Amino acid sequence: CVHTENCFVPTSEIIAVEETELNKKQHNTGKWQKMAKPHAFTVYYVKKARNHRWRCSDVTFWCVDEHLCNQWIQALKELLEMQKSRPKQLLVYINPYGGKRQGKRIYEQKVAPLFSLASISTDVVITEHANHAKDNLFEVNINKYDGVVCVGGDGMFSEVMHGLIGRMQKDSGIDQNNPKAPLVQCNIRIGSTDCICYSTVGISDPVTSALHIIVGDCQPLDVSSVHHNNTFLKYSVSLLGYGFYGDILKDSEKKRWMGPMRYDYSGFKTFLSHHYYEGTISFQPAKHTPGSPRDKDSCRTGCYICKKSGQQLAEQHKEYGLKHE
């Protein structure tokens, strides 16, 4: 661990270590250092805030001995190299119309500098039309990448998910139209925004998502496939809508020019249509014991609430049914 003021930072949450320029002001006081032949290095690390928000912070260490300074830098970099789950090469898809047409700017100003700081190489693709990312994933050499990053909404995540899973099945000779065919697991991780971010890291924030990607966090997601008459239709994660919800999404797609307001408009319009829906749902009960807030399965979010005292934690468990480490 590295000691930073009043806390300890585990090496798993260190983003990068860099030698610091000698004429740089000291980080904490803002005063010029008066040391004989000073040498310094800066440790960039994850600072966790409330509401699951993460930020990049830093602390600078000053040494008179240049050899000692270099030893620390080398030792910390070797520890970072031991973090095998961290990505080295990422494929980034940016929807220029996402985030109210701010997706490209947000990536370049908030995310790309963090990837560069963490020495992560990126290949960036600006999507030009629907299914551009999906089609591209069937062509690129995906084995050279540790993960794929989506800059956009849930639609971009859906494209990448279908492209990656479809590519894996194709390369493995699996017929996606066969509902009983076992799917080959995709080992390439995906980082995204919106609904997927809320369900994995607890907040839709580009900096928080980028930092989770940098430190190699991974949250497994179950994927289900949808078939009709032995024909593959879609893959689904997080949620699957039918009937009223499906009609809203179908109608709202024609009004993307309205922005987020299209969902309110389409929802009101669909509600006034007074459609009703019929369907049959069948499922297979889980064979294992259902989860419980009192079991030993740890929560992986690393949220602020996990750090509360035992009594507060017990109250949260009782109120929300959460599982924490």
Active-site positions? 154
Task: Name the residue among 200, 199, 189 with its Cα closest to residue 85.
Answer: 189
What is the rounded distance in angstroms from the CA atom of residue 201 to the CA atom of residue 193? 10
**Hey, what are 125's tokens?**
């693709």
**Long-range own/partner contacts, residues 289-292 (CB < 8 A, 24 or more apart):** 291/323, 292/323
Number of CB atoms found within 10 A of residue 305's CB: 17
What is the rounded distance in angstroms from the CA atom of residue 102 to the CA atom of residue 108? 10
**Hey, what are 4's tokens?**
């930073």
Cα 256 to Cα 95, 112, 250, 263: the distances in Å are 14, 27, 11, 9
Q: Report the greatest alpha carbon distance in the chain.
A: 80
What is the rounded distance in angstroms from the CA atom of residue 39 to the CA atom of residue 174? 58
What is the rounded distance in angstroms from the CA atom of residue 7 to the CA atom of residue 127? 43
Backbone angles phi, psi at 195, to 5 degrees: -55, -45
